[in-house]
Chain A
Amino acid sequence: MHEFSLAEALLQQVEANAPRHSVVRHVRVEIGPLQMVDGEALNTAWNFQTAGTRADGAELVIDWLPCERTCPACGRRWSGGDLVEICSCGHPQPRWIDGAKLILASIEVERAGDTSPPASQPYPERPES
C-alpha cells in the first residue's frame, strides 16, 4: 500500500516543519487524483505512523484536488470525470494541467511558549560499508 509510505514521508515533513516542543493538532494535505490515494487507507496509515509521536492524534485533513485538462482542439477546459475521459469534441488527447500533486499544505500546532525554529531535517543514516 503506498498510503503507508506516504504517511511515513508525511510524518517526516510534519516533524521537520513543526516548531520545537509544539504538539501537532491538524495536518492539511492536498492530493491530486492521479496519485490514486485512498483517503481511508491514508488515515489508517497516518494514525499508525504517528502513534507515540507529537503528531499522535493529529487530524489529517485531505483536500482532494481536481484533475484539470484542456483540449488542444477546441480549447475546452474541464475537471473531474473519468481519468481516461476524452474531450466531448472527440479529440483523443487532452492536455493535463494538473492532477499529480501531493502537497503538505499546512500544519496546526499548539505550543507552550517556545517559538524556536524546527530542527534541521536529517538525512537517513547510510549503512556502514
Chain B
Amino acid sequence: MSTSTVPVVENVLKLNDEIAAMNRVAFRAANVRVVNLIGGPGCGKTTLLERTARRFTSRGLRLGVIVGDLATTRDAERLIVAGAKAVQINTGKGCHLDANQVRNAVDQLDLLALDLLIIENVGNLICPVGFDLGHDEMVGMFSVAEGDDKPAKHPHLVHTSSVLLLNKSDLLPHVPFDERRFRADVAALNAQAPIWNIAAAKDEISPWLEWIDARLPSPAD
C-alpha cells in the first residue's frame, strides 16, 4: 500500500457543466436564446411567464418553457393555456434543475419552432444557482412580499444574475419594504445587473418585455 496525492483542480460540478455545454450547443444550433429564471416559491415566476406567453401569442411568436417543480403539472398547464410550449419536470426530492434534466426535457420540444426558451427553475433561491443548464443568462426574481433582505441572504443568485426583478411592486405602499436597502444590497453584490420593478399580476412588466425582445432572433437570422 502506498499513499499518494492526486491533484485535480476541477469544478465540483464538472459533470453537470459538461452536459450544460452540450445543451448550449443544441440551443445555439437552433438559434434560440435561453433564460434561467430563478426565484423563491410564490414570487410570481409562473404568473410572469403566463403574461409573457400571452404577449408572444398575440404577436405570432412562440415561447418555450421548461418548468421545474417538486410535484404537480399545474404550472405547465397554466403556461400551455397561456399559449406557451411548456414541458414540466417533476424533480421529486430535488431542490433544483440540473443540466441532464433539461437535456431530457428539450427532447420534448421542437427548438427550431421556438423564438425563446425560458427555464422556470424550482422555487428556491439557493440550490439552483450553481447548476449551469446551458442557458445564456440567469434572471433572479424577488417579490416585495418576501421582504427587502432577500438579496443579502442569497448573495450567489444576486451575484450571478444578469437582471434582477422585483415583483409585486404594487404592494410597496402597503407593506414594510425598504427599497433603498434592497437596491443597495444588490449593488454591493452585482455592479452590472439592472433591477426592475414589475407587477406581473397587473400586467406591468414592460422592462422585462423589452429585455426579452432584444433576445429574440432577428428577422435576418
Which residues in A have their C-beta under 8 angstroms from that of B11? Answer: 102-104
Whole-angstrom CA separation of A83 from B3 in the bound complex? 39
Whole-angstrom CA separation of A45 from B156 in the bound complex? 21
Stretch from B41-49, B134-142, B185-193, B194-202 at the A interface: B185-193
Which residues in A have their C-beta under 8 angstroms from that of B185? Answer: 84
Q: Are B12 and A2 in contact (CB under 8 A)?
A: no
Which residues in A have their C-beta under 8 angstroms from that of B13? Answer: 6, 9, 102
Whole-angstrom CA separation of A93 from B186 in the bound complex? 9
B98 to chain A, nearest CB (A): 8
Which residues in A have their C-beta under 8 angstroms from that of B98? Answer: 5
Which residues in A have their C-beta under 8 angstroms from that of B12? Answer: 6, 9-10, 13, 29, 102-104
Whole-angstrom CA separation of A127 from B7 in the bound complex? 34
Whole-angstrom CA separation of A24 from B158 in the bound complex? 36
Q: How many residues of A contact B (CB 8 A)?
A: 47
Pick the residue among B107, B151, B160, B187 that contacts A93 (CB under 8 A): B187
Whole-angstrom CA separation of A33 from B154 in the bound complex? 11
Which residues in B have their C-beta under 8 angstroms from that of A110? Answer: 1-3
Known A-B contacts A2-B130, A36-B126, A124-B100; the reply to A107 vs B155 at CB < 8 A is no
Most chain A CB atoms below 10 A, which of B127, B160, B184: B127
Whole-angstrom CA separation of A111 from B126 in the bound complex? 38
A43 to chain B, nearest CB (A): 15
0 or 1 for each of B192-214: is its CB under 8 Å from A? (1 = yes): 00000000000000000000000
Whole-angstrom CA separation of A121 from B15 in the bound complex? 8
Known A-B contacts A2-B95, A2-B96, A35-B156; the reply to A104 vs B9 at CB < 8 A is yes
Q: Are B191 and A1 in contact (CB under 8 A)?
A: no
Q: Which of B1-39 contact A (CB under 8 A)?
A: 1-16, 18-19
Q: Are A83 and B130 in contact (CB under 8 A)?
A: no
Q: Which of B91-133 contact A (CB under 8 A)?
A: 94-96, 98, 100, 103-104, 107, 126-127, 130-131
Q: Are A109 and B3 in contact (CB under 8 A)?
A: yes
Whole-angstrom CA separation of A9 from B103 in the bound complex? 18
Tell me the A residues contacting B by CB distance below 8 Å.
1-2, 5-6, 9-10, 12-13, 16-19, 25, 29, 33-36, 72, 83-86, 92-96, 99-100, 102-112, 121, 123-124, 126-127, 129
Q: Known pairs A92-B187, A108-B6; list 9 more (Cβ under 8 Å).
A: A9-B16, A36-B154, A84-B185, A84-B188, A86-B188, A103-B11, A107-B5, A107-B8, A126-B104
Tell me the B residues contacting A by CB distance below 8 Å.
1-16, 18-19, 94-96, 98, 100, 103-104, 107, 126-127, 130-131, 151-152, 154-156, 159-160, 184-185, 187-189, 191
